[in-house]
Amino acid sequence: MKAKTRRNILGDALLAVLSFFFLFPIYWAVLMAFKTQADTTAWPPKFFFTPTLDNFRVVLGLGGESSGEVIAGASTSIIPALGHSLVISLGALLVSLVVGIPAAYALARYKFASRESIAFTFLSFRFAPELLVIIPLFVIFRNIRLYDTYVGMIWIYQLITLPLVVWIVRGYFEDIPLEIEEAAKVDGCNWWGTFRHVALPLAAPGIAAALLLAFIYAWNNFIFVLILGGEHTQTVTLAALNFLSSEQQVYGQMAAAVLISILPVLALALYGQRYLVRGLSLGAVKE
């Protein structure tokens, strides 16, 4: 009994330390977002200060007093970048949905030559380092004029979203008892009917989980848009960086931009929590 209590206390303490470790940067970013430029750079760091909404006004393009000068040429509003992020992330999701779900179904249900190799190839997109391919990709994108276009970005984002969709949804399809699909075939469905009326509805939670995860990863991507994107496709992850330069570091505005940019993902994640947990663990345990 005593030992158990001690272990509990120890565990709680450990959790507290870990939570502090992971949550402190977010906490600090929240504080910074409400600080004036002078407060953000104050030493010793200020935990108590008079909060200001100026950073948010600037970042959202509502005027307001910019407490620091912003680099010439860069837009101070992140609204356009939010739009770019949305178009690219949702576009990437849509393509992954249309391509990935049938692929996942085929990989789950049909036996064909080198099935596992194909499945593994999809997975390898996920763990191959982006930096390894980004330079040749840059050259190719330049040459075929995909540099700084939505089409190019959505295409390259498939490296992020497609493997997630394929692998998570495949696991869900494999979990559906084969007999249920056979029952549908006897009941009058061809393969498409079986897929649409039986497999798809039963895998819906998995598809939701996959989409949620894929959206989060797509939204958070930085390197692809940094190298292959430009003014027309700049996403929020990149826009936040505009507040930092060699001449000036507008930490407050950057923090505000970051906070705004994580809001959609945070809302989605909270909303889809139950799908997420299953999606993550399923992907982990399967095979």
Give me the residues that bind another protein (CB under 8 A), please: 177, 179-180, 182-190, 193, 197-198, 201-202
Q: 73 or 177: whose CB is closer to another protein? A: 177
In angstroms, give the least distance from the CB of 196 to another protein.
Answer: 11
Q: 56 or 173: whose CB is closer to another protein? A: 173
Write phi, then psi, for 278 (nearest 5 degrees).
-65, -40
Encode 189-218: b = buried (16+ Cβ within 10 Å), e = exposed.
beeeebbeebbeebbeebbbbbbbbbbbbb
> In whole angstroms, how far apart are CA 54 and each of 37, 63, 231, 257?
10, 9, 25, 12
Reading the block at residue 88, the tokens are 């690219």
In angstroms, give the least distance from the CB of 194 to another protein.
Answer: 9
Token pair 């303490």 is found at 13
Q: 183 or 277: whose CB is closer to another protein? A: 183
Q: 193 or 264: whose CB is closer to another protein? A: 193
Q: 150 or 191: whose CB is closer to another protein? A: 191
Closest by CA position to 178, among listed 166, 186, 169, 168: 186
In angstroms, give the least distance from the CB of 165 to another protein.
Answer: 21
In angstroms, give the least distance from the CB of 99 to another protein.
Answer: 24
Which conformational region is residue 96 in: left (phi greater than 0), alpha (psi within -120 to 50 degrees), or beta?
Answer: alpha
In angstroms, give the least distance from the CB of 93 to another protein.
Answer: 23
Q: 197 or 278: whose CB is closer to another protein? A: 197
In angstroms, give the least distance from the CB of 214 to another protein.
Answer: 23
In angstroms, give the least distance from the CB of 286 to another protein.
Answer: 20
In angstroms, give the least distance from the CB of 243 to another protein.
Answer: 49
Closest by CA position to 189, among listed 180, 178, 197, 179: 197
Q: Return all residues near 251 (Cβ < 8 A) that are at least 6 apart.
A: 32, 35, 37, 40, 41, 243
Q: 81 or 203: whose CB is closer to another protein? A: 203
Token pair 């980004």 is found at 134
